[in-house]
Structure 1
């Protein structure tokens, strides 16, 4: 205990306190849109605490949390009526579900508790890693840059209206958006920082305990978010190969011992194991076999501006990094060379994504702002180019800080402006009458009952009840477009009775949710004779399919 207390006090310095305060301020600002929507929520609506995650994906995460709370250890597809195989995908949210069950928490509350914890771990372990790799002073600036560094000026992306009228993928890498990320991303990045810290300690001290501790963390992080360990799998071998080629060219001795090489082989093997487990899920049937194909089609084939945006994504950090990169490649320091390869990974491996079998987006899902921030800080405070030119150093630092604050401030202003004036959409602020219908299903519907509804309510129902819906999610619903037409025809009241009955029975549908969205598809009320009312309020009726027909 005394050892842990001493470590904590060593961490808490003036540098750390300044960094921690600014990081917490950014985290607070990142959550202002969420707080505004909480304030806007009226007494007759329910706000499920939507944040930066896509609403449908957010509901998917909550659905898996609900499954975990109800006893499942592998995720099942909640948005299709067909029988599907369970999957390791979303395992992080299964674990959150176990916590939710332990403390009797609703899925959305458990989600945000873990989101806060994951963010704080991200903030703390970012500082610990940078201090370990770069020392106290440069580590402080690297950590600060890692939090506040932002994207290039928006006009350079040549997509007029971004942030104001629409939101594009690269906007999610703005500083405040990075801190408003989904919890499995932030937790996995925190794990990556801890892994790198442990490996650097191993290299410096040759103490095997650091190496051994890193192995289960690598496995866990790889299961939760496979791209988070790509820097271990791709850039450690790249850095080793680079140093080997330099030494071969200059006829210098190999700088790694046989024990080091054995450790790296074990490291790569352990890193591969969770990736292979997750890759196996691509052959686990629908919907798990569709995700990677969908990502490759979306980002590798159908996003023509991706490469341009990737070049601009990291703002001024790559330019600031140039003096440090020149110095590091001359020094042959393995740790710093690894950091360079980590930063450049999205560019170096971009031509090979189709060969490797994953999407371009996965290359930027490994916290690449972090290594660029480390190298930029090293440039400003560890190279003669800036250290001996005090005026240039201060001017560059001042410009970088002011630019970062300005871009983040403008992005936040535009988002808050939109939040304040946006209508009270019922897809965001759920009417209590709709929520009561969902609550009824949560309390009374048997496990894995299949519920028919329109798209959005269909995404909400499994998030709060241990049920499945026939139609809800463009990726997780099998034959989404066909089902969309069938749902519209059923709710239109124009489907013949026999056809409607066969439709319900053939898809094993147990309940029909009939609220405002469903009523808008036809002329209410539903007139099918095989339905009986199970719940009703002024806006919503939940029907149960009769068993005696």
Structure 2
């Protein structure tokens, strides 16, 4: 693109529209972290908020890798066990996030939520861009209405015993707060998918004017995005590949009917490069990750295969599904590349969902469902409203306004319920959501020591999932999904703290695992006097909340 064309495109940008898009994206990003802001505001004196706005053990797991980046590491590695040398290359997004904030004195927990905020902003902005392209013939206010429907769409609900109950299933994206799930690598994956689909639709839109060299260039760009996605969000990468294959197949069939063999050749080259390199990359990543401890848990996921009935799809999609038959006629009447590409992505998602692909890959089939399906639901739903206005000779503006507001009012109870769950869910508000500040001070003390070696904590309260964040050291036991042979290590650690080992057994236990520091806190329920009976432990730090011993 030359400078003249670039300037011409910039001049076409409507500043007012851009401000609206950016403002809405900012508001969405704020909503995505609102629950942790409220959680922080409720922090009791003498405690530190652990920012548990997502399932707390998973959040601590991700934050450890952000902390590794902040500590200067460039490859994620196992810190939840002393005997596992695994390196987790697929967690590079968290390492990069940590590296970006390496020179800022910001807690890794806060960095996590800054990343969620920024990525939610980008996701929201890209969804807005996509909607304006999907229904570009509609007025800008109508496009905003489609965006609002996309954001806030919920399932059907009913009232039971004074409580809001709604139709749902595990791993669904039934509300705003599920759609913008506060997990950085999921949000980054959505961004990569949206950019890939936009690239593909633009390539197909200008296909007739594309040279063979341009085809090669576009195929390698899109392949690069898919390989990137395979690295940290592989299941949605499979959906993306399926959607691309369906899109290219459609265009290939059209060109074959016209006997346009040059176009067919370019398309075959395009999809062959993407498919061959992506398949090879997929095999490489599968081989790479099969060597890590956590790979075993992916295999068990395939046991959770569950097929939704048509009734469940209707009830969980919600009232917007009533507009889809009306809007789809307008949507398909002019099947532009971007409309085809996003429709193919949706079809790929459900085809994989109802296939045995999950068992082959080693996951559960609900991982193939994408929150991006609501982009189509919102866009086609808006077209359905416009169709109703035309059908009954009503004012399109008034009809869109009234029906959109009506739907949003209907969506409020479910979204409110989902937000309330975020504030009260025991999986989020854990026993260590508000951690006595002295415990963190003790962990930071261990970090300040120059002596190398690992750290031992009791398995109680899962504090082992936090300690690598503050110490940059390995811990003996953390949690079941992160520590190999967890139950065995749980028992050994407990026996050590209970004094159920002989002095020689305890010393050998520490030596074999290269444990240099032993920590006990007031929230774990163990008697500190037991540790004083071990002659090889020397107390080196103490406050009201924790005590630290060093192995001599």
TM superposition score normalised by structure 1: 0.83
Q: CA RMSD in A?
A: 3.7
- Report what 1:370 is aligned to: 375
Tell me the distance in 2 between the aligned counterparts of 1:346 and 1:530: 58
Tell me the distance in 2 between the aligned counterparts of 1:91 and 1:182: 14
Map 1:202-351 to 2 at 5 A. Answer: 202-206=203-207, 208=214, 213-241=221-249, 257-287=264-294, 289-297=295-303, 299-300=304-305, 312-326=315-329, 333-350=336-353, 351=355
Alignment match of 1:440 (pick from 435, 445, 453): 445
Alignment match of 1:542 (pick from 525, 537, 548): 548
Answer yes or no: is the 8 Å Cα contact 1:152–1:316 preserved in 2.
yes
Answer yes or no: is the 8 Å Cα contact 2:243–2:346 preserved in 1.
no
- Report what 2:65 is aligned to: 64
Tell me the distance in 1 between the aligned counterparts of 2:457 and 2:253: 62
Deviations 1:157-193 (A, max 9, x none): x9x9979xxx984476410343352122112212221
Is 2:126 the counterpart of 1:143? no
Change in CA separation of 1:344 and 1:313 when aligned onto 2, cut-off 3 Å? farther
Higher mean displacement: 324-333 or 225-234:
324-333
Q: Matched residue pairs, number? A: 529
Change in CA separation of 1:243 and 1:204 when aligned onto 2, cut-off 3 Å? closer
Offset at 1:92?
Answer: 0.4
Change in CA separation of 1:86 and 1:529 when aligned onto 2, cut-off 3 Å? same
Answer yes or no: is the 8 Å Cα contact 2:81–2:474 preserved in 1.
yes
Change in CA separation of 1:114 and 1:396 when aligned onto 2, cut-off 3 Å? same
Tell me the distance in 1 between the aligned counterparts of 2:31 and 2:270: 42
Answer yes or no: is the 8 Å Cα contact 2:226–2:237 preserved in 1.
yes
Change in CA separation of 1:271 and 1:422 when aligned onto 2, cut-off 3 Å? closer
Is 2:524 the counterpart of 1:513? no
- Report what 2:125 is aligned to: 124
Tell me the distance in 2 between the aligned counterparts of 1:443 and 1:360: 46
- Report what 1:112 is aligned to: 113
Tell me the distance in 2 between the aligned counterparts of 1:424 and 1:129: 36
Tell me the distance in 1 between the aligned counterparts of 2:456 and 2:403: 59
Tell me the distance in 1 between the aligned counterparts of 2:430 and 2:232: 33
Alignment match of 1:490 (pick from 470, 493, 496): 496
Change in CA separation of 1:441 and 1:396 when aligned onto 2, cut-off 3 Å? same
Change in CA separation of 1:366 and 1:258 when aligned onto 2, cut-off 3 Å? farther
- Please, which runs of 5 or more residues in structure 1 have no aligned partner? none
Higher mean displacement: 235-244 or 143-152:
235-244
- Report what 2:55 is aligned to: 54
Deviations 1:429-483 (A, max 9, x none): 1101111111112222656624333352111101222111111122110111222
| Other structure's SS at 1:533 match | strand
Answer yes or no: is the 8 Å Cα contact 2:255–2:264 preserved in 1.
no
TM superposition score normalised by structure 2: 0.83
Is 2:35 the counterpart of 1:33? yes
Tell me the distance in 1 between the aligned counterparts of 2:7 and 2:454: 51
Deviations 1:4-44 (A, max 9, x none): 78756755555555555444334333433211221111341
Deviations 1:55-90 (A, max 9, x none): 112111121122223333321111112132212121
Answer yes or no: is the 8 Å Cα contact 2:220–2:274 preserved in 1.
no
Answer yes or no: is the 8 Å Cα contact 1:80–1:468 preserved in 2.
yes
| Other structure's SS at 1:535 match | strand
Deviations 1:378-431 (A, max 9, x none): 4334xx466433559546434322222342234334655x38x99996501110
Change in CA separation of 1:284 and 1:407 when aligned onto 2, cut-off 3 Å? same
Answer yes or no: is the 8 Å Cα contact 2:74–2:95 preserved in 1.
yes
Change in CA separation of 1:56 and 1:478 when aligned onto 2, cut-off 3 Å? same
- Please, which runs of 5 or more residues in structure 2 have no aligned partner? none
Higher mean displacement: 200-209 or 463-472:
200-209
Deviations 1:230-251 (A, max 9, x none): 3421122234446667998xx6
